[in-house]
Amino acid sequence: MRRALPILMMLAATGLSASAPADTKDMKALYQRSCAMCHGEDGSGRGPNGQRLGGKDLANPRWQARTRDSQMVKAILKGKDSMPAFGAQMSEADALKLVTEVIRPMAAKKH
């Protein structure tokens, strides 16, 4: 576990600098590129072997039910605790699309 953190931070840094804002229209690709290293491909916050990646479980239906789109958008644009801010890389409209097209459907898929 102690070794996982520097690797995770490296991955995160690479992901951040690699994500060009030009082609943010494909929200699923954007998620896989910029968010999956912390939140998991399925949003569960876990990697392919079930290991915890450090991001929140975005697929949790109870959390989703009590969380507004606007709160998620704010966290994406401004960051929250150890979650980095993405406001320099995407517009508010793009962040909202990420929420409605990628994050919201994750809850339905999981349960």
Query: Where on the chain is the footprint of ligand HEC (CB under 6 A)?
Result: 12, 34-35, 37-39, 54-56, 58, 71-72, 75-76, 80-84, 86, 98, 103
Residue 83's DSSP bridge partners are 80
φ and ψ of 38, to 5 deg: -110, -35
Rounded Cα distance between 15 and 71, Å, is 23
Pick from 64, 45, 53, 66: nearest CA to 103 = 64
To ligand HEC, the closest distance from the beta carbon of 85 in angstroms equals 10
To ligand HEC, the closest distance from the beta carbon of 35 in angstroms equals 3
Query: CB-wise, 18 or 81, nearer to ligand HEC?
Result: 81
Pick from 84, 73, 87: nearest CA to 9 = 84
To ligand HEC, the closest distance from the beta carbon of 8 in angstroms equals 7
Rounded Cα distance between 2 and 20, Å, is 31
Per the CB < 8 A criterion, the answer to whether 107 and 80 are in contact is no
To ligand HEC, the closest distance from the beta carbon of 99 in angstroms equals 7
Query: CB-wise, 58 or 59, nearer to ligand HEC?
Result: 58
Query: CB-wise, 37 or 59, nearer to ligand HEC?
Result: 37
